[in-house]
Structure 1
Amino acid sequence: MLRLKLAVAAVALLAGAAFASPTAPRNGAEYTTLKTPQPVQAQGKKVEVIEFFMYHCPACYALEPAMLEWVKKQGDNIVFRRIHLPLTGENDPEAHLFLTLEAMKLEESLHAKILSTWHVERRRLKSDADNLDWAVKNGIDKDKFLAVYNSFSIVTKLKNSGRVAGTYEVTSTPTLIVGGRYSTNPSMVDASNPGIPRQKLDQATLQVLDALVAQARK
């Protein structure tokens, strides 16, 4: 009888593991649904995908190559944008740099350089002075940079960035928001699919994104 019970339990466990899959994500497991859907910038059939990240975040850096490849593959199916989570609050220097470069339309072209500064050169940009020094060394006009960096609009956005993260229920990075409605991240995918090898976790996360984009489009 004991052997029979153990066999039944094993079959049930295997069945549950088979059902849990990045290609068929479950609400409350591989992803969650936001309590309050947020407005999106995408129009028509395009689906908005937001990556909440931080420059210093090792998991964000690890996801970056696969994420870029996924975005390129999606093409006109999505509108992709990033939002920097302000780890240290309304004066967070990383988020401040991100917002400044975004306003100057330089963030996309310099994103890889900033990540390399943090994760390859091991150089920490932890202050306004660090940010200014990095900007000048990477060819940005000092006066133009400071004018945007210290502008009322950027300072206001920086102060509100924590509230923005709160509306999306984001508390860690990387977190991915699909269609202003669905939220997922590698940690959720890993916890819900413990058999996935660590080196395949990023790809599994993108499989969840595929499913959520399709779901949002419906």
Structure 2
Amino acid sequence: MKKLIFAFITMLFVPLAHAAPEFKEGVEYSVVSEIAGSKPEVTEFFSYICPHCYSFQPLMDKLAERVPEAEINKVPVSFLGKDLGPVLQRAYGAAKLLKVEDKLTPVMFDRIHRQKKVPGSIDDVKEVFVANGVDGKDFDGVINSFALNGMISKYDKLTEKFNIRGTPTVIVRNKYQLNMGEIGSEERFYRVVEYLLSAD
């Protein structure tokens, strides 16, 4: 009798064990590397000049609140905006080095996409930084520094490594790339990221 009960319980759990996952490779995400990173990490490739990135920022802010255990990174690409691309990429790196990225990123997005005041040069970028509390000498000290040049090189290598051709692009644990067109809603975006943060 006990064997029959055990067999019956086992049969009940078989469908659960073989249940289809909520999200599928090739649909909501693609595998872009064989080995996943060892830590929970979400990386967004973006550009200040990209209107979709501007619209996407509230979702990334909420994602940081929803998965506080994950490290949220941004990688600025240089291929958008023609000659302005490298300028805005350098602006983001300078904000990181000066520890004002949380403040300056919303300002840059707002100026470009809402106020339509696009900085055309490093001097224009400096004016934005200074207007938002950064000492001009501090800005000058980092904008062409060895440290910032190293960051720019890293940004470009990551962009090349993951073959980034559009923004925003989201990579989870250096292995999974979200297929944004297949996700469909804000809530599903969060759930896909949570699913991939714990995937094998």
Calculate the TM-score normalised by the size of structure 2.
0.79
Q: State the Cα distance separating 1:29 from its structure 2 match.
A: 2.1
Task: Provide the rounded CA distance (Å) in 2 between the counterparts of 1:120 and 1:96.
Answer: 21
Task: Provide the rounded CA distance (Å) in 2 between the counterparts of 1:90 and 1:159.
Answer: 17
What is the percent sequence identity of the aligned residues?
Answer: 22
Structure 2 partner of 1:33:
31
Residues 131, 36 of structure 1: alpha-carbon distance in 2 compared, 3 angstrom cutoff: farther
Structure 2 partner of 1:175:
169
Structure 2 partner of 1:101:
95
1:84 is aligned, of 76, 93, 96, to 76
Task: Provide the rounded CA distance (Å) in 1 between the counterparts of 2:163 and 2:187.
Answer: 24
Query: Are the equivalent residues in 1 in contact too, given 2:84–2:120 (CA < 8 A)?
Result: no
Structure 1 partner of 2:197:
213
1:51 is aligned, of 25, 44, 58, to 44
Unaligned ranges ≥5, structure 1: 1-22, 191-195
Residues 127, 159 of structure 1: alpha-carbon distance in 2 compared, 3 angstrom cutoff: farther
1:73 is aligned, of 57, 66, 71, to 66
Deviations 1:22-51 (A, max 9, x none): x822212221111354756x4xxxx11111
The alignment partner of 1:99 has SS state of helix
Q: State the Cα distance separating 1:89 from its structure 2 match.
A: 7.9
Residues 164, 204 of structure 1: alpha-carbon distance in 2 compared, 3 angstrom cutoff: same
Residues 56, 89 of structure 1: alpha-carbon distance in 2 compared, 3 angstrom cutoff: closer
The alignment partner of 1:83 has SS state of strand
Query: Are the equivalent residues in 2 in contact too, given 1:49–1:81 (CA < 8 A)?
Result: yes
Query: Are the equivalent residues in 2 in contact too, given 1:34–1:169 (CA < 8 A)?
Result: no
Q: State the Cα distance separating 1:157 from its structure 2 match.
A: 2.8
The amino acid across from 1:66 in the alignment is L
Residues 104, 63 of structure 1: alpha-carbon distance in 2 compared, 3 angstrom cutoff: same
Structure 2 partner of 1:128:
122
Structure 2 partner of 1:8:
none
Query: Are the equivalent residues in 2 in contact too, given 1:51–1:82 (CA < 8 A)?
Result: yes
Query: Are the equivalent residues in 2 in contact too, given 1:93–1:127 (CA < 8 A)?
Result: yes
Residues 160, 213 of structure 1: alpha-carbon distance in 2 compared, 3 angstrom cutoff: closer
The alignment partner of 1:92 has SS state of helix
2:138 is aligned, of 135, 144, 148, to 144
Deviations 1:160-183 (A, max 9, x none): 532221112322111111111111
Deviates more, 1:206-215 or 1:137-146: 206-215
The amino acid across from 2:198 in the alignment is A
The amino acid across from 1:212 in the alignment is L
